[in-house]
Structure formats: structure tokens, C-alpha cells
Structure 1
Amino acid sequence: MFTGIIEAIGTVEGIEIGRLGGAMTISAAFARALVRGESVAVSGVCLTVVKRSAKAFRVEVSPETLRRTTLGRLVRGQTVNLERAARLGDRLGGHLVSGHVDGVGKLAASRREGNARVLEIDVPLSLRRYLIPKGSVALDGISLTVNSVRGKRFSVAIIPHTAEATTIGGKKAGDSFNVEVDLIGKYVEQLVQPYGKTGRGKIRF
């Protein structure tokens, strides 16, 4: 489990990706502290450390992960957002992020608004129902607040610190994001869905 507060920006040092999966090596300031088998969110995707050195770590990527995320598009030298798994007792500065990406979004437009940059993101319509104004969303692993929602498009505001401390500051129109919608919303939907389909029960709030 993660919080969406990016810990470091890493660089892809090596990548071997094919239709059947693959692996990549990523340099990171905290690589020496990692242990084999622990989880690291790489641009919002929960991956397992299989090897590490003093300056870099290696992860493996399954075909399912390649289908659902942008990792298959990475190239050597590209930067990625990194976050180590949260520990019990840590402050929850963002929101609950599982690292299980729901889909890929695309930056449709952006504009300046005061000291912030407002991004408008297009997502698959299947994710629309999980996005609510002032709710939470993770873009490339970054915990952000949803400003507005209209059709398949939603907006977020990026403050200068977030632009500098993550890879989002370099995004331009047409670029893609790993999108993870609110985890709690998905569980609630799963729990109440049988009642809505059969009409056998009533849900009281």
C-alpha cells in the first residue's frame, strides 16, 4: 500500500520488455535501503524488487501490467516517480493507493491558473463513475485532488512543488498517465452492486 506522496524520481537504466513481460533496472537514491521482495511504486505501478545494488534496483513486469499501464512505453533514460510502500504508523499525506492501475489517461489540455497548472485528463468512460469533484485520484502514482469532472474528462491542479518533485511537470498534451481511481469507491460499488441488480434489499444511509 502507498500514499501517493512521491519519494524520489528515478531513471530507467535498462529495460527488456516484450509481449510476454520483461524487466527493468531503475536508479534511485534509496536503492541501497531496499531489500529483495519489497514493493516499490514505479509511476504508480506496484512492482517487486528482485535485485538491487547501491544505486539501482531491478523489477519484473508481467504481461497484465504491460496491458494496463504505460510501463511498456518506457525507454532507457526516461524518468519515473518512485515511492516505497507505506509502513503502519506513517502519516497518510495523500490517500490510500494500491499501485494497481485501473487504466491509462491522456493529457488533453493544460492552462495556467495563478501559481498552479491545471491539467485536463481524458480517461476511459468505465472509470468516470469513480471520479468525483474534490475526491482523490492517483496519476503516475501522485495523489491529487479532482477539481472537476465532465464526461470522460477531469481536471487537477498542479502546484509548483508537485511539478518540481515529480515527473508531472514535464507532461505535455498527448502524454499518457497511469490512472488509479479511489480504492474505497471501488469496494463500495462491489458491495452494493448485488442489491441494485436484484432489488431484493434496501440500502439505507
Structure 2
Amino acid sequence: MFTGLIEEIGKLQRIESRGEALVLTISARKVLEDVKLGDSISVNGVCLTVVSYNGASFSADVMPETYRHTNLKKLTPGEPVNLERAMLAGGRFGGHIVQGHVDGTATIVSRTPEANAVVFRLRPEQTHLMRLVVPQGSITLDGISLTVVSAERTSGTLTVSIIPHTLAQTALEHKRPGDTVNVENDILGKYIDHLLHDRHGSQPAVQTAAAASSGLTEAKLREFGF
């Protein structure tokens, strides 16, 4: 489990491709301080397993399922990536519950300065993901724990506002309109959505776009005892 607070920006050194299977080698420093084989490290929000390492880099396998559902396949050598080690049981919980299990990707539509912040508007490439996006709720973009500013169902877009510190300390600083980010919806929303749709014999939003038309209502919550 992760918190969505990025520890450092790594750099992709090398990418080995075998069809839809990849091996990423990433240069880093902080996340290597206590690394062991088999440790989990979030790379742009994707939980990957360390398969080898030295004092300056680590390597991780990317399986076909991860290849198909994340933006890792679009990475090129030299590109910056967000890195976070798995959360320690005794550590501070500064972000929100992040699993590193990416639900899909989103394209950056615009990047607009607003006073001391930068507002990013994004459109999920899997439109059903918008169902679980809640204004003032939590969302993970490329591994970063962020607060949703707005969610517009008609346009299928969401916005987040980024403070200067977050922009400077993450690879989001290098993202521009047209680029993609990995999206992980809030785990609490995913479980509630799954529970409600399982009781009705239908599929949850994170599995099929067909479920996007049946919303979570106050009546449904009362029906299930909430």
C-alpha cells in the first residue's frame, strides 16, 4: 500500500521490450536506501516488484496486464517517473489509501495557471472511470494523491489543482496537454460501487462502461443500510 506522496523523481535508464512484457531499469537514490529484492515500489502510480538493483538503479518487470492498462508502455529512456516506496506501518499517512492498482489512463486536456496553482483538466480514456470521480474526493494521478476540484459528466472531464511544491517535486511538472497519466480511483468508492452492483447482479464501474448509466443514489444507500 502507498500514500500517494511521491518520494523522488527517478529517471528511466533502459526499457527492454518483449511484446507486451517489459523490463524497466530506473535510476534512483532515496527509494534505494533500504531496498530489498521483492520490495514494492510505485512507478508512476503502478505497484512494481524490484527484481534487481544496485547502488544507483533498480529493475522491475511489467507484465502484459499492466502493459495494457497503464501508460508505462509509452515511457522512453531519459523520461522522469514518480517513485514511492510501500508505506511503513508506523509511518505518517499524509495522502490517502493508494494500492498501486491502476484503473486506466487519462489524457491531459489543458494546463492553466491560477494564482499560485496550476489547474489540470483531464479526460479519462476509459469513460466509465468518471463514475467514481467525486468533487473534493481523492484520486491518484501518476501515483500522486490529489483532490478532485470538479467532475463534469457531460464533457467527461475532471480537474485538479496543483500547488507549486507538488509540481516541483513530481514528474507532473513535465506533463503537457496531450500527455497521459495513470488513474487510480479511490478504493473506498470502488468497493461501495462493487457492493451495490453485485447486489443487483450487474458489473461495477471499474469493469464495464455499461454500468455507467446506473448511479449511486440516496435511496440505494438507505436500502442497503447506510
Shorter-chain-normalised TM-score: which range? Answer: over 0.9
Q: Report the equivalent of 2:35.
A: 34
Q: Structure 2-normalised TM-score?
A: 0.87
Q: Report the equivalent of 1:16.
A: 16
**Matched AA of 1:186:** K
Q: Which one of 134, 137, 143 corresponds to residue 135 of structure 1?
A: 137
Given that residues 20 and 67 in structure 2 are in contact (C-alpha distance below 8 angstroms), is that contact kept between their aligned partners in structure 1? no
**Matched AA of 1:76:** P
Is 1:178 matched with 2:182? yes
Cα distance in 2 for partners of 1:197, 1:22 equals 37
Q: Residue 204 of structure 1: CA displacement? A: 2.4
Given that residues 195 and 202 in structure 1 are in contact (C-alpha distance below 8 angstroms), is that contact kept between their aligned partners in structure 2? no
Deviations along 1:69-123, one digit per CA (max 9) or x if unpaired, are 0111111111100000001121111100000100010000121111000000001
Given that residues 32 and 52 in structure 1 are in contact (C-alpha distance below 8 angstroms), is that contact kept between their aligned partners in structure 2? no
Cα distance in 1 for partners of 2:54, 2:198 equals 49
Cα distance in 2 for partners of 1:14, 1:195 equals 46
**Matched AA of 2:88:** R
Given that residues 32 and 55 in structure 1 are in contact (C-alpha distance below 8 angstroms), is that contact kept between their aligned partners in structure 2? no
Q: Residue 141 of structure 1: CA displacement? A: 0.1
Unaligned runs of 5+ in 1: none
Given that residues 15 and 76 in structure 2 are in contact (C-alpha distance below 8 angstroms), is that contact kept between their aligned partners in structure 1? yes
Listed as ranges, the matches of 1:38-187 within 5 Å are 38-123=39-124, 124-151=126-153, 152-187=156-191
**Matched AA of 1:204:** G
Q: Residue 188 of structure 1: CA displacement? A: 1.2
Given that residues 32 and 53 in structure 1 are in contact (C-alpha distance below 8 angstroms), is that contact kept between their aligned partners in structure 2? no
Aligned residues, how many? 204
Percent identity, please. Answer: 43
